[in-house]
Structure 1
Amino acid sequence: MSRSDAVYFTEFGGPEVLRVGPWPEGPLGEHDVRIGVSTFALNRADLMYLAGEHYTIPAFPSRIGSEACGVVTETGAAVTGCAPGDRVTTIPFFTQNGVQGATAVVPDDYVTAVPDGLDDNEATAIWMQYLTPYFAFKEVCDLGEGDTVVITAASSSAGLGALQLCRELGVAAVATTRSPAKAEILRQSGASEVVVGDENLAKAISRASNGKGLQAAFDPLGGDSLQRYADHLAPGATVFGYGTLTDRQPVVPAAAMCRARAVFHPYSMFNHVDDPGQRARGIALVSEAIRSGCLRPRVDRVFGFEHVVDAYRYMQSGNQAGKIVVTVP
């Protein structure tokens, strides 16, 4: 059995427990695709997985990662959608076989051709960035013209993807950030209003929504974040809680939610991406928007494979505005 270098871990912890070394390349299943990886992307979910805080619990030793770009080197007997030599990018899915390494094995349902005009760094940054807000905004809520959403911690890759998607859908977006330096990036990405730090969020929501309030919130913070906007939810609003960047579980203000007949929705794109219909609709919308130039993945910083641990530490810092990508020689 041949081996190639991969990123893996054998115990829970932070970036310090990551290892890079030989990993066995087993035989392919009939619907599997083997990819020679050129780039892979990091996500906050990877840190949760590494720490044992994700709802998917690894079995050790475990590889890590769900987004990669590269060239198909081998396909299973039943694969018809791609062939060796094709340049492809992976749609995120959770498996013990993570894609961060020199090669990756991915089910053929989760492989797509790289859209024209994107380099490898951009191509590896597409699907988590856009499908995460897509499933929330279209499959769950079906937001559109005249709706308003608040996007907290909006300089994350999913936050920037949500802002671009709002612009594509005609949805007004109120973006929050702790950093004044990131405000212009958020406006360029599609924010109707940008709220920095402790600025008045209520006024920004009122301006963006013409006084109607929020149809949705897209919130990875957890803790007391909902308290800032719960009184400004429109009737029937949905609050998508998709992370705990504060290291605290969300505190849901029951009275304010009841007044608005609002719903708190514990959210993960992984609860939607395995539905073939939802996945196909998301791929179609995002692919067309990329082709038309309406969506363009934002890459914040690129690291070499030998610096993958540094890349994870940089993600921990929260200083990025967009996707962190690692190149594989």
Structure 2
Amino acid sequence: MSATTDTVLYFEELGGPEKLRIGPWPRRPLRPGEVRLRVQAFALNRADLMYLNGEHYTIPDLPTRIGSEAVGTVIEVAPGVTGVALGDRVSTMPFFTPDGVQGDVAVVPADYLAPADDRLGDAQACSVWMQYLTPYLAFVEVCRLRPGDAVLVTAATSTAGLGAVEIARSLGLSTIATTRSPGKADLLREAGATAVAVAGTDDLGRVIAEATGGRGVDAAFDPIGGRSLADYVDHLAQGAVVLGYGTLSDEQPEIPVAAMCRARAVFHPYSMFNHIDDPRQRRGAVRFISDRITTGELTPRVDRVFPFEETVEAYRYMQSNQQAGKIVVTVP
């Protein structure tokens, strides 16, 4: 591409991965507070699929780029930006603007950059923030959970689910994790789950009762939607918070009102994006996660890496729900 265009992933109409295109995109001047990166790798997130389908609360202004998690080298800095220099290796925190990061070059607000830890290769370095910020902000800022509290993580082998199990362990919480795959139960225990329930095999209510001494869970981290809540609503502790952050079932959550009232529980429609733009919350979360990346207490798990020209196939793979960890694309 010429100096005035970049090669990026974009879409011109809503739909599935088949709507994605790789091609030239005009390079615009930086605005105040922005940084331009040469991208080495980027990670896919389910929020990207929602954005592509027009299901995310951020509505695309077509045509648009896509994606918010990448690792790369700083190649241009807007005047007045401090703390970032040419040549720095940085990773991007999730943000939603028309300037997605999935391409060979990306423009990112400087406030949403963090130094990429030298201990991590490119695939891991672009896989940190969505999976750890999402549960951290939910557990700390929304639920105010304390050491010894119990949390239920459903669909726990998803990227955010694995991140939630690891963050819960770091916060001193006990965790009941669910999975549809018996073969992934050991993975969840290795990540720090106190107990694991295999859907269709284990009685989730019994597993929760045994793990919590009958008290129930103080929070549920649930991306499933539909009737998922009915499986555990009778095993919520008094004052519990149910964090609904997705609709993997393709159905909006059904709320069993009477049972929620008995537990004095609250259903909280949750998005990490409603918290990451608060500087105090963002700084606290980044500090907590960065410290634990440095010590090795948190280690991003990468499921599969695709080359840039196979990005559409990478999205199809994410749709299959086969992964246990991040799906990453490397950029030549």
Same fold flag (TM > 0.5): yes
Q: Which amino acid aligns with 2:26?
A: P
**8 Å Cα contact 1:236-1:262 kept in structure 2:** yes
Q: Which amino acid aligns with 1:91?
A: M
Q: Which amino acid aligns with 1:142?
A: R
Query: Partners of 2:309 and 2:183 in 1: how far apart?
Result: 30
Query: Partners of 1:57 and 1:182 in 2: how far apart?
Result: 35
Counterpart in the other structure of 1:70 = 72
* Residue 30 of structure 1, CA deviation: 2.1
* Residue 52 of structure 1, CA deviation: 0.5
Query: Partners of 1:322 and 1:214 in 2: how far apart?
Result: 25
Counterpart in the other structure of 1:51 = 53
1:26 aligns with 2:37: no
What secondary structure is seen at the aligned counterpart in 2 of 1:291? helix
Counterpart in the other structure of 1:176 = 178
User: What TM-score results when the alignment is normalised by the length of structure 1?
Assistant: 0.99
User: What TM-score results when the alignment is normalised by the length of structure 2?
Assistant: 0.98
Query: Partners of 1:202 and 1:248 in 2: how far apart?
Result: 22
Gapped regions of structure 1 (runs ≥ 5)? none
Counterpart in the other structure of 1:141 = 143
Q: Which amino acid aligns with 1:65?
A: G
* Residue 196 of structure 1, CA deviation: 0.8
**Mapping for residues 156-175 of structure 1, pairs under 5 Å:** 156-175=158-177
What secondary structure is seen at the aligned counterpart in 1 of 2:10? strand
* Residue 116 of structure 1, CA deviation: 3.1
Query: Partners of 1:144 and 1:293 in 2: how far apart?
Result: 22
Count of residue correspondences: 329
Counterpart in the other structure of 2:301 = 298
* Residue 146 of structure 1, CA deviation: 1.5
Q: Which amino acid aligns with 2:328?
A: V
Query: Partners of 1:235 and 1:51 in 2: how far apart?
Result: 37
* Residue 35 of structure 1, CA deviation: 0.4
Query: Partners of 2:199 and 2:239 in 1: how far apart?
Result: 27
1:195 aligns with 2:197: yes
**Mapping for residues 98-177 of structure 1, pairs under 5 Å:** 98-177=100-179
What secondary structure is seen at the aligned counterpart in 1 of 2:42? strand
* Residue 211 of structure 1, CA deviation: 1.7
Counterpart in the other structure of 2:244 = 241
Q: Which amino acid aligns with 2:179?
A: T
* Residue 291 of structure 1, CA deviation: 1.0
Counterpart in the other structure of 1:324 = 327
Gapped regions of structure 2 (runs ≥ 5)? none
> Which string of whole-angstrom CA distances, capped at 9 and with x for unpartnered residues, describes residues 176-225 of structure 1?
11111211111111111111122111111112212211100000000000
Q: Which amino acid aligns with 2:310?
A: H
Q: CA RMSD in A?
A: 0.8
Counterpart in the other structure of 1:224 = 227
Q: Which amino acid aligns with 2:22?
A: V
Query: Partners of 2:286 and 2:148 in 1: how far apart?
Result: 24
**8 Å Cα contact 1:116-1:291 kept in structure 2:** no
Query: Partners of 1:82 and 1:97 in 2: how far apart?
Result: 19
What secondary structure is seen at the aligned counterpart in 2 of 1:272? helix
1:41 aligns with 2:43: yes
Query: Partners of 2:209 and 2:291 in 1: how far apart?
Result: 32
Counterpart in the other structure of 2:6 = 4
> Which string of whole-angstrom CA distances, capped at 9 and with x for unpartnered residues, describes residues 298-329 of structure 1?
00000000000000000000000011000000
Provide runs of 4+ in structure 1 moved above 2 Å. Answer: none
Query: Partners of 2:194 and 2:239 in 1: how far apart?
Result: 22
Query: Partners of 1:263 and 1:205 in 2: how far apart?
Result: 19
Counterpart in the other structure of 1:260 = 263
**8 Å Cα contact 1:122-1:298 kept in structure 2:** yes
Query: Partners of 1:123 and 1:289 in 2: how far apart?
Result: 14
What secondary structure is seen at the aligned counterpart in 1 of 2:276? coil
Tell me the percent identity. Answer: 61
**8 Å Cα contact 1:136-1:240 kept in structure 2:** yes
**8 Å Cα contact 1:40-1:100 kept in structure 2:** yes
Counterpart in the other structure of 2:218 = 215
Which stretch shows the higher mean deviation, 195-204 or 249-258? Answer: 195-204
1:287 aligns with 2:290: yes
> Which string of whole-angstrom CA distances, capped at 9 and with x for unpartnered residues, describes residues 133-186 of structure 1?
011000111212211111011001100000000111111111111111211111
Q: Which amino acid aligns with 1:310?
A: E
Query: Partners of 1:300 and 1:186 in 2: how far apart?
Result: 14
